[in-house]
Amino acid sequence: MNSLLNEWSSQLKKNEKPRFYIIFCFYAVFFLCYFSPALLQGRYLGPGDGVVQYVPLYYSSIELWTSKLFTGLSLVSDPASWTWYLPALVSRLLGVSYNIFMISAYVGAAFFTYLLVFELTNNRYSSLISGLVFSLSGFFMGHLGHANIIHSAMWLPIMVLAFEKLNKKDNFKWVVIGAFSVSMSFLAGHAQIFVNSLLFCGIYVLYHTLVMKKTWKYILISAVTVLIGLLLSALQLLPFIVAMGKIERSTISFQEFLTYTLPIKETITLVFPYILGGAQSYYDIPYFGSWGLTETIGYVGILPLFFFISVFVFNFRNRRVLFWCGITIFILLLSIGGNNPLMNIIYKIPILNSVRAQSRHFLEFSLAMSVLTGYGLTYLKIADTKKIKRVLGLFVFSMVVLISVVSINYERLNNLFNKKYSHTLPSLLNNKSVVIPIVLIAAICLLIYLMINRFRYERFINSMLVIIVVADLSSFGYFYEWRTSSPHKEVFQINEKSKEIYSIIGDDRYIPINGVASGLELFPPNLSRYWGLHNVGGYSQLIEKRFSHLTSIASSGIVEDKRWIDPDNSVFDILGTKYAVLPVDLISPKVEFEQGGIGWSNMNLDIGLSNQNDTSIFIPNLNDLYTSISIVSNLSNSIPVSTGQTISRISVYDDNNKEYTFDVKAGLHTSEWAWDREDVKATIQHERAPVFQSFASSDSQGNDFEGHSYLTTFGLPKEMKISKVKIHWLGPNDVQLNLIKLSLSNGQLSNPLGAYNSFLDQEKWVQLKNSNDLLVLKNNKAMPRAWVVTQTKNMEPDSIVDIIKSSRFSDGQPYVPSYTALTEEFKDVEYSNGNDYSVRVKKETGNSLSLEVYSEHPAFLVLSDQYDEGWEASVNGNREKIVRTNYVQRGLEIPAGTSNIQFNYNPVTYQIGKWITTITIFGLIVYYLFFVRKTRREK
């Protein structure tokens, strides 16, 4: 292989320098044209998460802290905020549009790959093709909506190039370039991609040291390069490390570790990317695979598969090529879940075992395949014709086998599709997701055959190869979600429908119950921050564990505990949540389908009952008469539960408050959801109840089985009006009853009940606005932004949570937030009763808050904003300790009279990191001026 590369290199003109700027301009023009459908239609390149997170973030102010999400979120701790990511920082300051910012990542990925492959092959044409393969790969096109992933990923080729350059010669310039790319990969905002990139580079360096027999000095220089990159990132890296110790997802189970990972049975998408659907703009088939194409697609085109085979078969003895072939196979195995022994090993490695979506390793796979494409194309130009023909024959045979596999299993695919969508796939020859890859395979084989036979119109063949590569990769990327789901720019303006609600909310805090799943008219996070609203929820993986535990708000902003609306629950009261916005169907769902003679809603209750205190109460419409109540449910962890064992009791109350009870029993009315899993089926102690619906699932080993929900109907003793339905837990410990649907019926009319109608209270949560599709509730017990209490109680953290959620102390006394503050490391204090006070917000920025507080007597101030160690406070110019209050809030003692209170956010980790970054930059400049330049002059 080396001799072949040398022969090709010798054909280049001597002293001819590669015109890199022409290549850069080519990629820039190419991607402007590629994404022109969205640009010309006035759309942002931000489908999916781009709508609610990245586009709003890009156009929001640059801050270290925001009180508009989660009642407080540290942005300096979150690389995804792009606080210090240089391309985003410069683009935002210069007013560059979000679309250009996104396109720059694709141009950068292509150009950096070009530079890397040119360094390895010294072939401009092969490098050009490799750049297209990487930047148009399924990974890059699939994650277009994840701007932080794309921007973190684009630095991988230049990182590898830096280590390749250092492999050949110590060079200060490439130490700096390598360190800069390491820093930018982290600051771009996706830690998983950053870690994966570093691991890939680490393997690259280690391989060249051990196998290519480089000196240990190479490892040392490479380590120093990475270290400098980390030091350059210190101003955000240090706060991030501290924040990681506080988040909910700092540890995950093995099952969650495997989520969003390509199943073995779906690896056919590496050749037929839309065989499981996923592009409704052209292929017109909805997705029916496991996790969704965005996270599992690893498509790099068909042509690179040919080059992989050619390089692997005929050049496996070349140690440099062997690395790229070996790492390709290794990374592919890392990206596949299910019954994969490698996953068990990776899960035992710290840091790596804290993230899911292992298919994101397709980034490294795409780069490796792009490099092998460059090697293969270079080899094809000068290789022996007979050898290449044998490779072409092997490639054709492999493709015929894959097509045969698709043909044989097509009926099975059709059954899977029918089961999910209740209609059939097009016939095999009418299915574009099958036919188009076959056409591309035929075209590629013909083109390679012409190249092998040295077709005399070489420029025509080279042009056709570029077209085929673009067409091949565009058969996936050009028709993915950005074509149909990229938002119009008008989406980010408050529409007429939402203006009334916007004016109602104003400067008060509110919670969109469905988080990012809320419609835009419900002001979802983090779009709400862009609009200047104070959202108690948010969308960030750095949501603190304490805040999530107290509020049951997930990282997506969804409120998972349906009891937030309980009038005795003070959580949203103390957070100052004055309004809740939610779809009206959560209160009064509509009948959307019928099964078993009962009308049902598509919306599930998703209520879990698992201990003696768990009770759910539903209040239906009193105007109707009913003859039956039907429940859809299943059990979790119920293997030891025997048939006939009582799980819960349903109490139905008529309009005279007379109670009628019905016991829900295992094996008769409900059963274990995983009843048909082989290991469960062999040991379970109760029968399987009548199945309502089944759904596909798989165990930790990748074995498929069907999960179930179960239907039971209880007839009422007479036709009656129902004032209340109460479901109370009676089952054993560690078992959970999952309430999925609940419906009342009289044979002609059905009334599905929603999860939130159980706690509507006209004194606390008042219906303020009820349109056809959304509901605004006003919380009459919401506390202000800050208030003064006359009592503090020192309690254990878990006790504080229980007290806030129940509004009662353990002795049964009521908890009144306006009177008592609950602390963990502060003394019990009784201040003067009958205290008169006032609080006024004087000024607020992203990093500071100024209050003017008047208190008749010494007292304790509670601020409804989230607690963080980075905040400092002063009262009338004197430093005052901030006390963690009410589990997640800030509090401090104040004197009698008028006080000016100043809160400033300046975390120690940020201060230290800022100094480290500054010193590192200064050190690099000094080293260059006094050592590098001096050495050059001496030479």
Residue with tokens 């139905």: 652
Do 434 and 406 touch, CB atoms closer than 8 A?
yes
Question: What pLDDT score does 89 carry?
Answer: 93
Domain ranges of the chain: 2-28+76-484, 498-582, 609-744, 786-906
More reliable by pLDDT, 339 or 758: 339
Q: Which segment, 247-251, 498-502, 526-530, is predicted with the most confidence on average?
A: 526-530
Question: What pLDDT score does 3 carry?
Answer: 47
Query: Tens digits of per-residue pLDDT, 844-856?
Result: 988 899 999 998 8
**Predicted confidence band of residue 783 (pLDDT cuts 50, 70, 90):** very high
More reliable by pLDDT, 859 or 928: 859
Do 900 and 876 touch, CB atoms closer than 8 A?
yes
Is the pLDDT at 567 greater than 60? The verdict is yes
Query: Tens digits of per-residue pLDDT, 714-739?
Result: 999 988 888 878 888 888 888 999 98
Alpha carbon distance 530, 582 (integer Å)? 20
Is the pLDDT at 649 greater than 70? The verdict is yes
Q: What are phi and psi of 546, to 5 degrees?
A: -60, -45
Q: Which segment, 28-32, 295-299, 589-593, is predicted with the most confidence on average?
A: 28-32
Question: What pLDDT score does 521 carry?
Answer: 80
Alpha carbon distance 486, 46 (integer Å)? 5
Query: Tens digits of per-residue pLDDT, 229-252?
Result: 999 999 999 999 999 888 866 567
Question: What pLDDT score does 358 carry?
Answer: 83
Closest CA to 653 of 577, 752, 723: 723
Query: Tens digits of per-residue pLDDT, 45-99?
Result: 999 888 889 999 999 988 999 999 999 999 999 999 999 999 999 999 899 999 9
Helix (H, G, I), strand (E, B) or coil at 837: strand
Is the pLDDT at 17 greater than 70? The verdict is no
Distance of CA 511 to the CA centre of its chain: 20
Question: What pLDDT score does 793 carry?
Answer: 93
Q: How far is CA 109 from CA 124, 131, 139, 357, 892, in A?
A: 16, 7, 12, 22, 50
pLDDT (average), residues 101-108: 96
Q: Residues with Cβ < 8 Å from 841, sequence gap 6 or more?
A: 785, 786, 849, 850, 851
Alpha carbon distance 239, 170 (integer Å)? 33
Percent of the chain past pLDDT 70, that is, above it, reads 93
Question: What pLDDT score does 619 carry?
Answer: 66
Do 53 and 526 touch, CB atoms closer than 8 A?
yes
Question: What pLDDT score does 472 carry?
Answer: 94
Do 805 and 570 touch, CB atoms closer than 8 A?
yes
Class of domain 609-744: mainly beta
Question: What pLDDT score does 702 carry?
Answer: 64
pLDDT (average), residues 737-761: 78
More reliable by pLDDT, 358 or 642: 642
What proportions of the chain, in percent to the nearest 5, are helix, strand and coil? 45, 20, 35
Q: Where are the alpha helices (DSSP H) in 383-409?
A: 385-408
DSSP string, 523-555: --TTHHHHTT-EESS---TT-BHHHHHHH-B-T
β partners of residue 649: 663, 728
**Predicted confidence band of residue 937 (pLDDT cuts 50, 70, 90):** low
More reliable by pLDDT, 419 or 373: 373
pLDDT (average), residues 560-569: 82
Do 736 and 744 touch, CB atoms closer than 8 A?
no
HEC profile of 334-351:
HCECCCCHHHHHHHCCCC
pLDDT (average), residues 807-813: 89
Question: What pLDDT score does 763 carry?
Answer: 75
Query: Tens digits of per-residue pLDDT, 160-208?
Result: 999 999 988 778 889 999 999 999 999 999 999 999 999 999 999 998 8
Is the pLDDT at 218 greater than 50? The verdict is yes
More reliable by pLDDT, 848 or 260: 848
Alpha carbon distance 186, 793 (integer Å)? 43
* Cβ neighbours around 51 below 10 Å, total: 21
Q: What is the bridge-based pairing of β-strands 774-779 and 577-583?
A: antiparallel
**Predicted confidence band of residue 904 (pLDDT cuts 50, 70, 90):** very high
Question: What pLDDT score does 837 carry?
Answer: 86
Please compute, for residue 754, the number of CA atoms within 13 A of its CA located in the half-sphere on the CB side: 17
More reliable by pLDDT, 295 or 134: 134
Query: Mean pLDDT across the chain, nearest whole number?
Result: 87
Question: What pLDDT score does 16 carry?
Answer: 44
**Predicted confidence band of residue 12 (pLDDT cuts 50, 70, 90):** very low
**What are 679-685's contacts with CB under 8 Å, separation 24+?**
680/639, 683/639, 684/638, 684/639, 685/639, 685/640, 685/641, 685/642, 685/643
Question: What pLDDT score does 342 carry?
Answer: 78
Question: What pLDDT score does 15 carry?
Answer: 36
β partners of residue 535: 69, 510
β partners of residue 594: 599
pLDDT (average), residues 18-22: 78
